[in-house]
Structure formats: C-alpha cells, structure tokens
A and B are shown apart, each in its own frame.
Chain A
C-alpha cells in the first residue's frame, strides 16, 4: 500500500466540477482583482474566525509582514516568536526591519510563556504566537504577560484555521491573526493565498489600503503601500471549499484520535489541553532513531516528513542573531525526534490503519523505546 504524505489531487478530484465552474464564472466575468467574490469569501472567513474584519492578502507571509507594518513595527523594534516555526514567522520580522527574537517552546511545541517573559526587553513591540500544527498557544497566559506592557499579540495561525482555544476560535485571540491558505493547508486554495483577521476596524481599514498600493481611491495614495491581493479566482475556490472545512476538520481530528489511541503507548503523541480544539495540520510524533524509522516506513510505502529539521536560530540566515547551538534546548532536542505522519481528510480508514500498523511494526523491529 502507498500512503503519500500529501495528495492534493484527491481533493481536487472530489470538487472538480464545482471548481471548474468557478473558473469559468470568474474567467468570463473579467473581474480578476478584488470585487464581490473576494468580499464574499472575506465575510465567510470572518464568520469562521468569529471576527468582525477579514482582509485577504496574497499569502500567509505577506499577512505577517502587513500585520507588523500596520502596527508600525520596524527598525529598532524587537519581535518574539518561536524558533521551531516555519521560516516565514521569522522572515516577516526581518522583512519589516525589526529584530528577530526567539523564545523556547514547551512540550506542546508552542511558545513557553515563561521563556517569552525572559525574552521581553524594553524594545519588544510584539509577540508572534505560532499555533504550530494547529494547536493553540496558551493565549490567556500570554495575554496576561503582555497586557500591561503594551506589547501586541499577532497570532500566526497559518496552520490553525478552524482551531479553537477554550471555546474561542483562533483568529480572535490577539490583536491581529495571520492565516495562510497555501495549497497544503487545511483550507488550501489552488495557489498562494492568505488573510488577516481582527476585530479592530481601524487596523483593518489601513490594511485594505496597504495591500493595494496605499490607494484610497483610483487616483490617490494616502501612504506608499504594496501589492498583496487575493486573486478573485482563488476567492471563488475559497467560497466553495470553506463549506467543507468543518467536515474536513472533523476528519483531521478523527484520524488524530485514532493515531493517539493506538500509538501513544509507543511513540510520543502531541499534547493538547482538554478544553482546546486543535486541528492537526500535521500530526507530529517524537521517536528515537527517527531517520532509520522513516526509512523503513518509506520502504513500506508510508511517506513521512519533518516539520522542521533545522530550528530557525540555527539556519544560515540567522548567522547575525545572538543565538547558537544550545540557545533553545527544548526546540533543538525536539528537532532531532519529531516526525510528521500523513494526515488529510481524503486519507481512507484502511490507509490510516495501515500507517498505525506499520509504525508499530517498525518500532518493534528496531526495538525503539518510547520517548518520555
């Protein structure tokens, strides 16, 4: 049996008729930039995130960059984020000229609020709280820490659409929340796409201006902006796909539950708080002898990946930051053991069972002890 890590074609196949219809509709309308389709999708996203405002942009990275810009964060400012995230969380900070600061993560792979506390200086302007794999950061603890310090919280919810923290939807938990709709995401479009959610009307207004050259009318720019718009055609796909998201989220959770029940005695499965709703963009386990195990699994047809093997502070790009090997021991330790199993709504029960069966078989064969 073959279980690829992703299978984007499968979802397209299921929705092909509707998506092609959207193609033709938008194609013939000639309205390719902004317009009603984009507005309609933004409203659907706002409803999903329980936010009053959604500003769609070209991609998740741009969402982070624009969020920092709209908060006037730049040269001389520090922004704290997690060193185990995707590059964009740190890249966005560098892109606006601010200084990247990291705080180590906890056993749930998210920012350790105690460590964030230590990383705060008089220059700290914002925290980019990454809900890694779609598991929410402990936002109450983080908010308590930042509230009286005038530090903004930007949720990096790129992997966390439809997740909830203590009954509240991700996207409504900080000052601004940034999402990616990249094809590989739980709600993925057919190209790069992203959005920013907020309840702050003024910030949303300025973001709409910034994403579109700073224009306030066809002929006047109130500030120099950028071009970061969600294509109308992608919004049309989004309007179709978002209707399936709740059902997909349930399937992610269903598969994750099965993995957890059957694997947790043998490999370290992800931890989450009982009152949260993680969405398992990735299902990350920790194992000894990871590379040997991955190799054997691949031989059995099960493709796995590592998100991510090199922590951000150890990237060549981070050479000028005040960090070295040993700076973030939890992240570094985890980076050696983490392994992501295939998880997506189109994965059949038999394939899910096969993954579990093969993981258990290879673990026994290699005599790998469980990570505590």
Chain B
C-alpha cells in the first residue's frame, strides 16, 4: 500500500556502509544535554514558537550575516513563503537553475509562478553570464541556489537585480555559514532560505527551516504568513499558512549553533582541502574551481567523475556511501512536462547530472577514511 514511502533506503542507516553520508547518531551522541534543555522548554508548555525560537532566529540570522530570522517548517516552506511575501504568483516568472533539489522548483510552482531555467557554470551554480537573456517583463525574482554549500557569484547577480528591478531570493538550504567576498551569505540577497533538515550542516531532529532577511517589512510579512496571518490570538489580517519551527527543534538547533557549528564547517573544509589535493592528480576527475573570494561550507563534496555509475557501485561495494545529487535535472523531470523542455536545453546541467558523485565529507569522516576513499578511487581507475 505505502509504496511511495521510500525514506529508509534514502537515509541508509549507519552500518550499511562503513563510511556513510548519515552521521546523525554520532552528531547527537551528547543527546542528554539536548534533552535537559528540551525538558525545560516542555515543562513550560512551550511547543510552538516562544522564547527558544526567538533566540535561535536572532542568533541564526546573525551567524549568516542577516538582521532578522524567521523560523519555519522546512527549507521548502522557507522558499515558498518568501515568494508569497513578495507577492509572487500567477503570471510571474522566477529565474533559477535546473541543477537543484525538487523543492526549489516545487516552491515556485506551488506559489503559482513559472520557473525559468538558466544553465549552470563550472562551479555547479547558476551561470551569471546567461541570466540576462532569460529576463522578461514577467520576471519578478531570481532564485540563485548555493548548491552544495558553494556561494553563487552574488556580485553580478546583485547588479542584475538593481538594473532590472528584480528581487533576490537565495536558496541557501545547503549554505549555512557560507560567505562571499568576506561577507556572510545572507548579506547578498533580499531573502535567504535555509534548511535544517537532518542531513544539513546544521540540523534538527526532523524538518525545519529558517528565513533570513535584512528588510523589516519582509520580516513582518513572513511572521504573519507562517502563523495563519494572525496579528494576535483573535485577529486574522490575511489568509495565510501554518509553517512554524517546532520549539523543541529550535532547542536542538541552538545547541548545535552554540557548540558545534564552527567545528562542523571547519572540519568539512579541512576534509575537502585534503580531498582536493589528492583527487586533482587523478585525470578522470574534474573538480569544480575553488574561488578565492568565497567560503564554501561543503554541504556536499561533489565533483565530476568518468564512468560515474561504475565508480559509484565500486565504492559502495567498498563500503563507501557515494551518492548522486542528483541524476535527473529538474527540466527533465516527469513533473516538468508542463514546461515543455527537452534534453539538450541545459547541456551543462545535463552533463553534471550524468557525471557527478558526492563523497562523504562530514565532520566524522576520519583522515584514515579519507585516505581509504582516495585509495579505492585510484584502484578503480587503475583497473
């Protein structure tokens, strides 16, 4: 009956592979500290919103270079509500890339607007040189995706926004703590949308999202929209939605932000630097360029690999959970039929979908395990 509930396979459990993408058990090994904090909140009867959410919103916004944070149900809801807050809907177009997660496009379509794709560049992010050609009188916003934790080239995107009067809603779901030109990522967009899904760099024990903005009007609008449009218990200013960050999840996020966030991103960076050095010598692998003016937070360590499918099987056989994020670009999804795209429309995205592979990069991957991964990759290409 429940054929579409395929999650256990997607989040393959610890021990399925020795070197895993899922590291949640390790990350929450100190759960007793979190539980103590959660119990305090629950005894107060605080289950939705409240003090713990307020505090996280402030600290999270500041950490990402913004003034205001709004906790919501998920990263998807963050994107959807941001579009709604800017009154983007039927008849409007939003520019984004086809190399992203389903939620980016789902949010645009759910809001009633049309996703307009622009191909990606070598860094796997939107190709800024191709955006201008996609702008029409109907374009209302650009939704650059900081894919894998790599900041998009935000300076030219901001110039385009100014020239054409467009809003920037950044899909920063992968990019907690990233920075561009020495400024944290939320500085560079009108609204930045973050996810705290269990597999993100900063994660909670379920679904959760956070929106960061510097605009007080947008903040007010979003605060209303996530909570039924209520201005107080009794008055509803506008018909809206229910998308709140659970208080207990805010406690989990706060614990990680206060105690682990810097270490998580630093360790991911250190792992990536080590892998870059080892893998750049293998001719069958194409690493994305690493721009000097950016701080990539390596939500994923993704590169292009020749004979990708065989390599993935080989690595999995060697107990390494190499994953594909993702094999089918958005414009070629069955869901995108109504948009009328075809193979060849976005060649860079299509090529990446065929060749990309992500290696485990999280903070619990050891130096020995990194060496083992590189050893196995060499073994594969040598044979």
Residues of A within 8 A of B (CB): 6-9, 12-13, 16, 20, 23-24, 26-36, 38-39, 42, 52-53, 58-62, 65, 75, 87-88, 90-91, 93-95, 97, 100, 182-183, 190-192, 201, 204-205, 208-209, 212-229, 231-234, 308-310, 312, 315-317
Contact = CB atoms under 8 A, between A and B. Distances in A.
Contact of A62 (B11, B197, B242, B249): B242
Contact of A221 (B110, B239, B243, B334): B334
Contacts, number: 221
A9 B44 CA distance: 7
Nearest to A86: B228
Contact of B246 (A60, A191, A223): A191
B112 A191 contact: no
Contacts of B327: 219
Contacts of B133: none
Given A191-B47, A220-B334, 20 more contacts: A24-B31, A26-B205, A28-B28, A29-B25, A31-B7, A58-B74, A58-B242, A75-B90, A191-B48, A191-B206, A192-B48, A192-B244, A208-B5, A209-B4, A223-B334, A223-B335, A224-B335, A226-B80, A227-B77, A316-B236
B328 A218 contact: no
B42 A12 contact: yes
Interface residues of B, number: 75
A231 B246 contact: yes
Interface string B7-46: 1111101100000001111001001001100110011110
A183 B4 contact: no
14 contacts: A9-B45, A23-B35, A29-B25, A32-B24, A58-B74, A191-B47, A208-B2, A215-B4, A224-B105, A224-B110, A226-B76, A231-B205, A234-B246, A317-B237
Contacts of B334: 216, 220-223
Judged by DSSP, the binding face of B is: loop
B38 A32 contact: no
A30 B38 contact: no
Nearest to B326: A219
A13 B43 CA distance: 8
A231 B106 contact: no
Q: Pick from B34, B73, B242 the residue with the most CB of A within 10 Å.
A: B242
Given A190-B248, A317-B236, A227 B75 contact: yes
Contacts of A309: 234
Given A20-B35, A87-B228, A234-B206, A213 B106 contact: yes
Contacts of A222: 334-335
Interface of B: 1-11, 13-14, 22-25, 28, 31, 34-35, 38-39, 42-45, 47-48, 73-77, 80, 90, 101-103, 105-106, 109-110, 112, 197-198, 204-207, 228-230, 234-244, 246-249, 324, 326-328, 333-335
Q: Which 7 A-B pairs have the closest CB atoms?
A: A231-B206, A191-B246, A30-B24, A94-B239, A227-B76, A61-B242, A34-B7
A62 B207 CA distance: 14
A232 B43 CA distance: 21
A233 B261 CA distance: 23
Contacts of B326: 218-219
A208 B45 contact: no
B50 to A, nearest CB: 11
Among B75, B103, B239, B328, find the residue whose CB has the most chain A CB atoms closer than 10 A: B239
A35 B236 contact: no
A298 to B, nearest CB: 16
Contact of B239 (A12, A29, A95, A219): A95
Contacts of B31: 23-24, 27-28
Contacts of A35: 7-8, 11
A54 to B, nearest CB: 10
Given A33-B11, A191-B249, A221 B333 contact: yes
Given A12-B42, A32-B198, A61 B241 contact: yes
B43 to A, nearest CB: 5
A209 B238 CA distance: 29
A205 B235 contact: no
Contacts of A229: 207
A225 B326 CA distance: 17
Given A23-B35, A224-B109, A226-B80, A90 B239 contact: yes
A264 B90 CA distance: 52
Contact of A233 (B7, B205, B234): B205
Nearest to A229: B207
Given A30-B13, A62-B242, A224 B236 contact: no
A87 B229 contact: yes
A292 to B, nearest CB: 19
Contacts of B25: 28-30
A220 B328 contact: yes
Nearest to A309: B234
Contacts of B106: 213-214, 221, 224-227
Contact of A317 (B105, B206, B239): B239
A226 B101 CA distance: 12
Nearest to B44: A9
